[in-house]
Amino acid sequence: MAALQSYDYNPMVDGQFDRDASMITTTIKVFTAALLIFPPQPILAQTPPETSPPSAQQESTSSEQLLSDAQLDALLAPIALYPDALLSEVLMASTYPLEVVEADRWVESNKNLKGDALKDAVGKQSWDDSVKSLVATPSVLDMMSQKLSWTQQLGDAVLAQQPDIVDAIQRLRTKAQANNKLVSNQQQTVSTQQQDGKQVIVITPTQPTRSMCRITIRPSFTERGPIRPIRHTTGQRRATSLQVCSRLG
């Protein structure tokens, strides 16, 4: 077998080294020129997309849920001429519509209870004090129970529009007084007083069975600020606080 012929590569002899060096040098020059003509661009951090401010429609969503003066007048018309003490209890009790229904059914089932026996039995119930107080006026309690949707709407307005509720009551009383529909008589005394720099019409029973009080609705607060209007159940803190009269006489 013939021996394999070895071949030693000699770039210096073949000129291969010179050609390779020339190609490398040329490549470097081309790359350098490219960098001068097209310098690398810095990588910019991606910026978040711009968010548009809330539209007028979004901002007005909450206001659209509030009742207008005309709607409040219609809502409060059945009770605006109640004596202040009773009216305060109705407003507060309306925020507990389910308890109103329960109390009305309880009254129907316990008509035999009178006087102290009635007070003691009512005191053992878990209802809000405003609901308990309405047991003394069963016709009002029955009306609120029978017109449950109205009671719920009234409760929502009490929680969300406290100052508007007070203003609507005074508007209705002023109109009634101007039309001689609201006058003092054997059952009630109608007077005008100054409260918080405003002239208001006050209605009190001639022979009150409850202590007199003015109608005020004040928002309650937590450490985080005003409580948002919500539907409350027994045991939960209320979103509004009413200054009311003593309960059940």
Q: Is 132 exposed, middle or buried (0-12, 13-18, 19+ CB in 10 A)?
A: buried
CA distance 216 to 20: 99
Place of tokens 């002899």: 13
- What is the arithmetic mean of pLDDT over 166-170? 96
Cβ count within 10 A of residue 152 = 17
How far separated are the first and last CA of the chain, in Å rounded?
Answer: 133
- Structure tokens, 165: 């509720």
DSSP 134: G
7-37 pLDDT tens trace:
454 544 455 545 555 555 565 565 555 555 5
Give the start-end residues of each E strand in the chain: 188-195, 198-205, 217-219, 221-222, 225-226, 240-242
Largest CA distance in the chain: 145
Would you say how long the chain is, in residues?
A: 249
| pLDDT tens digits along 32-89 | 555 555 555 555 555 555 666 655 555 444 555 899 999 999 999 999 999 999 999 9
Of the two residues 237 and 48, the one the predictor is more confident about is 48
Q: Identify any residues that bridge with 222 across adjacent strands, giving them in sequence order.
A: 225
CA distances (Å), origin 77, targets 72, 176, 213: 8, 10, 21
pLDDT at 177 over 90: yes
Strand, coil or helix: 158: helix
pTM of the entire structure? 0.64
**183-234 per-position pLDDT tens digit:** 999 999 999 999 888 899 999 998 765 443 444 444 433 333 333 333 444 3
Contacts (Cβ under 8 Å, ≥6 apart) of 247? 129, 132, 133
**Predicted local distance difference test score (pLDDT) of residue 32:** 56
Per-domain residue ranges of the chain: 83-242
